[in-house]
Copies of this chain bind each other. A is one copy, B any other.
Amino acid sequence: MNLKIAVLGTGSVGQTLAGRLTELGHSVKVGTRDVASTMSRTEPDAMGNAPFATWEAAHVEVQLTTFADAVVDVDVIVNALSGSASLPVLQSIGAQRLADKILLDVANPLDSSKGSPPTLFVKDDDSLGEQIQRAFPDLKVVLADGDHTVFVSGNDSTAKQAVTTLLESFGHTDVIDLGDISTARGTEMLLPIWLRLMGSLNTVMFNFKVVR
């Protein structure tokens, strides 16, 4: 099934997802704050990733547009923004444009203002997924995170099934539906050990598997 998908965010997560979704035959737009500014950057980002224009040159079928234009007439919106940018950007797009679309949320609620490793700006009595769902009650928010085992949280069963199908098309065979959007608390709270494992193992080439 060919879907129309908007990926919000031009960082490495947005690039990776937009590229993979395009390969799978979906029509992908990438949303950014200011198209000219994003395309004019020539320096790698803080993590050493090439500027967006370099990636775009290799993915000419992906249209770069404003956040608000990106979400027009799409089936699925992917939130590949930073955790702190997520709510402000969605608010700038506005509830009317977002309406009852599916939001596949992969943003991490990291707070890097207090040093490294970063802490979270939500704790286990709330989650960024819930904050987005509360701000946009009609939006079908589905948090999905994980690699070996992927954890899915959301209030709308149909939206979760659509996201699960998308994840399976990515090659994921172990997708666990944790329940409603409040279960995003569990998934988001995996970040603290993930950050320590990255420090201890000195690589990001690992992931969590739930062994049953």
Interface size on A, residues (CB 8 A): 37
A170 within 8 A of B: no
Shortest A100–chain B CB gap in Å is 25
A199 within 8 A of B: yes
Number of copies: 2
- Binary contact readout A151-192 vs B (1 if CB under 8 angstroms, 0 otherwise): 100000000000000000000000011110001011101111
Most buried by B among A177, A192, A206: A192
A45 within 8 A of B: no
Majority-rule SS of A interface residues: mixed
Give the docked Cα–Cα distance between A149 and B20 (Å). 31
Give the docked Cα–Cα distance between A192 and B87 (Å). 23
Give the docked Cα–Cα distance between A132 and B185 (Å). 26
Beta-carbon nearest neighbor of A145 in chain B? B193
What chain B residues lie within 8 Å of A178 (beta carbons)? 193, 196-197, 199-200
What are some 13 contacts across the A-B interface (CB < 8 A)?
A: A114-B125, A124-B189, A124-B191, A124-B192, A178-B193, A179-B199, A183-B196, A183-B199, A183-B200, A189-B189, A189-B192, A190-B190, A201-B212
